[in-house]
Structure 1
Amino acid sequence: MTQYDIQTRKGLPQEMQALLTVLPRDGWRDHPNFARSIQNWMGAHQMFRGLTGQIRQDSEDFLEQKQEDQTYAARLAHFGMLLFNNLHGHHSWEDRSFFPELEAADPRFARGLEMLESDHEALDGHLDQFRRTGNRLVQLATLDPTQMKDEAGQMLDTVTTIDGFLERHLTDEEDLAVPILLHHALRG
């Protein structure tokens, strides 16, 4: 099995772009098989991108003393929980239901779907670090707000890593899955 490192890959490997070449991204929304379910799935991806961006911005604002410690902790607890829970749920559903459906429809892309599943496993490690750092930050807001700055710096590093990881992964996921969905008229 070929390993595809998400940290170094720059888009889908060439062998996984057969349908993307025929069904490029700029034509998806106008395609007759572009269903509401595809739009909703991609909307979830936009939500994840937005949440990581919000957490990153809040962390920067806190570190630049543009946000109070209690406000930062409350926003981190809210947006962090949304990101963590929804991302885990989304990827679990993809691994158990969505990817097997896509593989059954077009087995040529089994290795690409396997690559995306391995991304999910790698992302779990980043999310675990995010959860631990976020929990410490929220607790420090009550126990000792003077220590929050160091943890906020670590949170900024962690969420920046997740943001870059997610951008690559979600783009690859869309570039592989949407052409399969359109080509085979799935989820319509």
Structure 2
Amino acid sequence: MTQSQKDPAALALATRQGLPDALRILLESYPRDSWENHSNFAGLVAFWLDRHVMFRRLTDTLRSDAEAAVDKRLDPQTHFSRLSRFGGMLVSQLHGHHQIEDAHYFPVLARREQTLDRGFKILDQDHHAMDGLLNRFTESANAVLQGTGEAGAFHSELLSFQSLLHRHLEDEEDLIVPVILKHGPDNLH
């Protein structure tokens, strides 16, 4: 019995270091470095991964801006404007992305690859955990924008959020992309 089977908390977003090997089985047949050359990559997979790239870039931009604000290399008004724009974009786009995955893609993909159903449940649990993280992120960003919080505190919150978001995105990609590459994107939209 693996550690994650003994202790389900080991699979929680805040504590796991990756998906268990049993849920990464398709990744062996469809390794990351082969994805772009696969005939089922263009279209849905490419679009979906582009969304993940956008989330990573937004968090990188927000982190760089917060660091510049803390170091007084970015004037407060510019920081407020960028934080409002990019923070709002991140929150709204992530919520929409997760809603589509939970309501549509996860159930369809879980039916296509039933041995990975547990993985889709883990990702769904991640989305619930991300709701709380997004709320904390929003509260911290709003405190900066309203003048009741500091860029340093927001930066700390953002680092925690970014780390967990990246863990989730990587695990999601490791589970979902191989399923779509194997079965194709037909009947997913």
> 1:145-160 alignment to 2 at 5 Å?
151-160=150-159
Is 2:8 the counterpart of 1:9?
no
Distance 1:134 1:167 in 2: 19
> 1:64-83 alignment to 2 at 5 Å?
64-83=71-90
Report the AA paired with residue 75 of structure 1. R
Percent of paired sites with the same residue:
39
In structure 2, list runs of 5 or more residues that go unmatched. Answer: none
> Contact 1:126/1:158 (CA < 8 Å) preserved in 2?
no
Which residue of the partner structure matches residue 144 of structure 1? none
Secondary structure at 1:29 match in 2: helix
Which residue of the partner structure matches residue 183 of structure 2? 184
Secondary structure at 1:59 match in 2: helix
> Contact 2:45/2:177 (CA < 8 Å) preserved in 1?
yes
Is 2:60 the counterpart of 1:61?
no
Distance 2:76 2:25 in 1: 50
* Shift in Å, 1:44: 0.3
Secondary structure at 1:28 match in 2: helix
> 1:33-44 alignment to 2 at 5 Å?
33-44=40-51
Q: After TM superposition, what 4+ stretches of structure 1 lie above 6 angstroms from structure 2?
A: none
> Contact 2:30/2:178 (CA < 8 Å) preserved in 1?
yes
Which residue of the partner structure matches residue 128 of structure 1? 135
* Shift in Å, 1:10: 1.8
Which residue of the partner structure matches residue 139 of structure 1? 146
Report the AA paired with residue 183 of structure 1. K
Report the AA paired with residue 168 of structure 1. R
- TM-score normalised by L of structure 1: 0.91
- TM-score normalised by L of structure 2: 0.91
Distance 1:186 1:71 in 2: 42
Distance 2:125 2:150 in 1: 29
> 1:9-28 alignment to 2 at 5 Å?
9-28=16-35
Report the AA paired with residue 70 of structure 1. Q
> For residues 102-151 of structure 1, what are the alpha-carbon distances to aligned partners after superposition, in whole Å with 9 as ceiling and x for unaligned?
011111111000000111111111110111111121122xxxxxx6xx52
Is 2:102 the counterpart of 1:95?
yes
Secondary structure at 1:66 match in 2: coil
Is 2:36 the counterpart of 1:29?
yes
Secondary structure at 1:7 match in 2: coil
Distance 2:168 2:140 in 1: 23
**RMSD after superposition:** 1.5
* Shift in Å, 1:167: 1.0
In structure 1, list runs of 5 or more residues that go unmatched. Answer: 141-146
